[in-house]
Amino acid sequence: MEGGHEEEGSACGAEAADQFDRLPDAVLLDVFNRIGDVKALGRCALVSRRFHALVPLVDSVFVRVDCVIPDDLPPHAGSPQQQEAPAAAAAVPPARGRGSLAHIARFLLGVIARPIQALGQILSPVAATVSRRSAPQPASPPAPAADVSHHSPSEVLRSFKELRRLHIELPTGELGIDDGVLLKWKADFGSTLGSCVILGASSVSSKPPSPPNPPETDAADNSAASPESTREPEESGSLPESLYTNGWLKLRVVWTISSLIAASARHYLLQPIISDHATLESLNLTDSDGQGVLTMDKRQLQELRVRPVSPSGSSHRTLMPALRMRLYYAPHVELPGGTLLKGATLVAIRPSEDASREGGGAGAAGSAGTCWISNAFEEPYRTAAKALLKTREYCLEMNSF
Partner 1 sequence: MAAEKGEKGAAAKEVAGERMVTLESSDGEEFHMSEAAAQLSTLLRHVIEGGGIDNGIPLPKVAARTLEKVIMYCEKHAKAAAKSDSDPSAAAGSSSDNTAAASEDLEKWDRKLVNGLSQDALFDLIVAADYLVIDGLLDATCRKVADMMKGKTPDEIRKIFNILNDFTKEEEEEMRREYAWAFDD
Residues forming contacts to partner 1 in the complex (CB under 8 A) are 8-11, 16-20, 22-24, 26-27, 30-32, 34-49, 51-52, 98-101, 151, 155-156, 159
What backbone torsions phi and psi does residue 215 show, to the nearest 5 degrees? -55, 130
How many C-beta neighbours within 10 Å does residue 169 have? 15
Q: Which is nearer to partner 1, 47 or 278 (CB)?
A: 47
Q: Which is nearer to partner 1, 24 or 211 (CB)?
A: 24
Report the C-alpha gap between 92 and 130 in whole angstroms.
16
Closest approach of Cβ 386 to partner 1, in Å?
14
Closest approach of Cβ 82 to partner 1, in Å?
14
Report the C-alpha gap between 381 and 35 in whole angstroms.
30
Closest approach of Cβ 270 to partner 1, in Å?
18
Closest approach of Cβ 110 to partner 1, in Å?
18
Give the sign of the dihedral formed by CA 103, CA 107, CA 109, CA 113.
positive
Closest approach of Cβ 45 to partner 1, in Å?
6
What DSSP letter does each residue of 69-133 carry, written as one string? --TTSPPPSS-------TT-TT-----SS--TTHHHHHHHHHHHHHHHHHHHHHTHHHHHHH-ST
Closest approach of Cβ 355 to partner 1, in Å?
31
Q: Which is nearer to partner 1, 47 or 128 (CB)?
A: 47
Closest approach of Cβ 152 to partner 1, in Å?
10
- 379's CB contacts (< 8 A; 6+ apart) are 336
What DSSP letter does each residue of 220-232 carry, written as one string? T-SSTT-TTS---
Specify the DSSP element, H or E, that contains 147: none
Q: Which is nearer to partner 1, 31 or 278 (CB)?
A: 31
Q: Tell how far CA 207 is from the center of its chain.
A: 28
Q: Which is nearer to partner 1, 22 or 207 (CB)?
A: 22
69 neighbors 95 (Cβ within 8 angstroms): no
Q: How far is CA 322 from CA 131, 145, 251, 400, 401, in A?
A: 26, 30, 20, 4, 8
Q: Which is nearer to partner 1, 8 or 228 (CB)?
A: 8
Interior CA angle at 258 toward 86 and 196, to 5°? 145
- Closest to 387 measured CA to CA, from 401, 398, 373: 373
Closest approach of Cβ 306 to partner 1, in Å?
31
260 neighbors 254 (Cβ within 8 angstroms): no
Q: Which is nearer to partner 1, 155 or 281 (CB)?
A: 155
Q: Which is nearer to partner 1, 10 or 314 (CB)?
A: 10
Please confirm whether the linkage preceding 115 is cis (ω < 30° from 0). Answer: no
Specify the DSSP element, H or E, that contains 51: helix 49-54
Q: Which is nearer to partner 1, 119 or 335 (CB)?
A: 335
Q: Which is nearer to partner 1, 53 or 128 (CB)?
A: 53
Where does 156-263 show beta strands of DSSP type E?
165-170, 182-189, 193-201, 203-205
Closest approach of Cβ 159 to partner 1, in Å?
7
Closest approach of Cβ 322 to partner 1, in Å?
39
